[in-house]
Amino acid sequence: MNFPQIDETHDPARSSWVEGADGHTDFPVQNLPYGIFSPPGGTARAGVAIGDRIFDLKGAARGGLLPAAAAAVLDGTTLNALLALPGRDRIALRQALSTLFSDERQSGAVEPLLHRAADCLLHLPAAIGDYSDFYVGIHHATNIGKLFRPDNPLLPNYKYVPIGYHGRASSIRPSGVPVVRPRGQRKAPDADVPLVGPSQRLDYELELGIWIGPGNPLGDPVPIAEATDHIAGFCLLNDWSARDFQAWEYVPLGPFLAKNFQTTISPWVVTAEAMAPFRIPQPQRPEGDPQPLPYLWDEADQAGGALAIDLEVYLSSARMRAEGLAPLRLSRGPASSMYWTAQQIVAHHASNGCDLRPGDLLGTGTLSAATRDGYGSLMELSEGGKVSIALPTGEQRTFLEDGDELALKAVARAEGFASIGFGECRAVIMPAR
Ligand code: CA
């Protein structure tokens, strides 16, 4: 397993001459995530976040500031070609950027290409050809399973197969794009026939997204030992879910209209390279759980294939915002609640010869902690709609109401290293049309 190595770009002592970058919650010089942005009056182009600024990578490539391999693929309006580069070229780009932002002698060349992030519009970072969503958050799978099967929450395949389904790429949107409450079929347990109307059980799901880098040819599986070579980076992902539609439609083929009306992601690709200091051992499987099958097992993956990321979810109602109240934190938990690693997800997805392509997006599935304070959906927090959550205004929530704004946050932390964040992943719920 060739996990990206820690190098001088991760040095916590490395500082930046870019104002506000040092100690920035999300984007200090140790992060350097890539995205697609439009500066004021300008067209969409590649950029990298540094503090509260965005550096124009297209302009930098044209200006001869970047290594040739990366410069050659930074002219477009998506990052697919950048994601497709082999790790060594992405590392060379990261090292060059780290030098540009930390060496004050470079400021003359760099400063004209910096834009205030607040003035820019962020887009999806890639043309997402395919999106698949997994179900590897074991506490979430257990909690949801218990609602249907109290004595037997996990089905027998769960500990052998990284469970997943093919999602819908067309309705993925970056942070900030509102979510229109979907209409669909729902059937009350005691009703004979379904109704059609706006979802009454609109929920979120706290997930990580995995950006595919170099792909694999059709018919050629990705060996688990090479899976990390195909992961270019990570983002936050909110798999909005209409629980009432889901309960009615999911038998026998699985999620469909309950999930595909919109998916929100954080628009910055936090690179696999940036995550090097935040790799931790995969939690040991509980006593009695089966050993993963050989195509999913790799010692190095078990030793360092999990991610030290703290995840949080915040809710604010329209009334809370009008009254100037801070968002309410609904949960906080670790990303290490994944029963399968990102590498196992990738290896499994390609194990039958399915070709993954640069810019494909994989969701981990809802990442709930073991305890209630870290549950990653309202379905779990409200125990299927039975327990309501009090907001500071006195309003009550079991599921999302129109005007609610939901925000996910992620910060990677490790002793002795600068923390890095994932940026915004938020959206407001709009009334059904
Ligand atoms: Ca999901």
CATH, residue 68: 2.30.30.230
- 163 and 32: one domain? no
Instruction: For residue 231, report the distance from its CA to the centre of ligand 1, in Å.
Output: 20
User: In this structure, is residue 253 part of a structural domain?
Assistant: yes
Write out the two tokens for 90: 């992405």
Q: What mean pLDDT value characterizes the chain?
A: 97
User: According to the model, what pLDDT value does residue 377 have?
Assistant: 98
DSSP string, 42-105: ---EEEEEETTEEEEHHHHHHTT-S-HHHHTT-SSSSSHHHHTS-HHHHHHHHHHHHHHHH-GG
CA-based nearest residue to 49, from 269, 231, 276, 359: 269
Which residue, 399, 428, 204, is CA-closest to 311? 204
Establish if 334 belongs to a structural domain.
Answer: yes
Rounded distance from Cα 47 to ligand 1 centre (Å) = 29
Asked, for residue 2, whether it belongs to a domain, the answer is: no
CB-facing half-sphere around the CA of 294: CA atoms within 13 A: 0
The Å distance, Cα 44 to ligand 1 centre, comes to: 29
Asked if residue 225 and residue 188 are part of one domain, the reply reads: yes
pLDDT value at residue 339: 98
Judgement on whether residues 30 and 148 belong to the same structural domain of the protein: no
**Spacing, Cα 364 to ligand 1 middle (Å):** 7
- Residues by chain with Cβ below 5 Å of ion ligand 1: 133, 205, 239
State the pLDDT confidence band at 149, using cuts at 50, 70 and 90. confident
Q: What is the pLDDT of residues 170-193, one digit of tens each?
A: 999 999 999 999 999 999 999 999
Pair (244, 359) in one structural domain: yes
Residue 147 has pLDDT above 90, yes or no: no
Residue finishing a domain among 123, 155, 180 = 123
When pLDDT is averaged across residues 117-125 and rounded to a whole number, the result is 98
Domain C-terminal end among 123, 157, 192:
123
Distance CA 250, CA 158 (A): 17
Per residue in 395-425, pLDDT (tens digit) is 999 999 999 999 999 999 999 999 999 999 9
- Is residue 3 a part of any domain in this protein? no
Mean pLDDT of 349-373: 98
Are residue 345 and residue 197 in the same domain, yes or no? yes
264-300 confidence digits (pLDDT tens): 999 999 999 999 999 999 999 999 999 999 999 999 9
User: How far is the centre of ligand 1, averaged over its atoms, from the C-alpha of 156 (Å)?
Assistant: 20
- Expressed in angstroms and rounded, the spacing between residue 167 Cα and the centre of ligand 1 is 9
DSSP-assigned letter for residue 382: T
Are residues 136 and 116 part of one domain?
no
Per-residue pLDDT reduced to its tens digit, 362-378: 999 999 999 999 999 99
Same domain, 21 and 86: yes
From 88, 104, 123, give the residue that closes a domain.
Answer: 123
CA angle 177, 314, 399 (to 5 degrees): 80
Residues 6+ apart with CB under 8 A from 181: 198, 199, 202, 402, 429, 430, 431, 432
Q: What is the mean pLDDT of residues 79-84?
A: 98
Instruction: Calculate the alpha carbon distances from 244 to 48, 201, 252, 259, 337 in Å.
Output: 40, 6, 16, 11, 26
For residues 160-165, average pLDDT: 97
Q: Is 368 exposed, middle or buried (0-12, 13-18, 19+ CB in 10 A)?
A: buried
For residue 262, pLDDT over 90 is answered with yes
Q: Out of 1-5, 12-16, 55-59, 200-204, which region has the weakest mean confidence (pLDDT)?
A: 1-5
Same domain, yes or no: 391 and 344 = yes
Binned at pLDDT 50, 70 and 90, residue 65 comes out as very high
Number of structural domains found in the chain: 2
Torsion angle of the four alpha carbons 178, 382, 137, 206, in this order, in degrees rounded to the nearest 10: 20
Q: Is 385 a residue whose pLDDT tops 90?
A: yes
The CATH number of the domain where 420 resides is what? Answer: 3.90.850.10
Say what percent of the chain tops pLDDT 70. Answer: 100
pLDDT of residue 364: 98
Residue 1 lies in a domain: no
Pick from 122, 417, 134, 426: which is nearest to 269 by CA?
122
Averaged pLDDT, 9-15: 98
Specify whether 139 is located in the same domain as 155: yes
Q: Tell me the pLDDT tens digit for each residue of 22-62.
A: 999 999 999 999 999 999 999 999 999 999 999 999 999 99
> pLDDT over 90 for what percent of the chain?
98
* Contact by Cβ (8 Å): 89, 157: no
Looking at residue 428, its pLDDT comes to 98
Query: Residue 114's domain spans which residues?
Result: 8-123
Q: Is residue 383 part of a domain?
A: yes
| Residues involved in catalysis | 140
| Same domain, yes or no: 255 and 318 | yes
| Same domain? 117 vs 135 | no
Residues 94-119 have a mean pLDDT of 98
pLDDT surpasses 90 at 73: yes
Q: How far does residue 264's CA lie from ligand 1's centre (Å)?
A: 12
Q: According to the model, what pLDDT value does residue 148 have?
A: 81
CA of 430 to the centre of ligand 1 (A): 21
Verify that 139 and 287 share a domain, yes or no.
yes
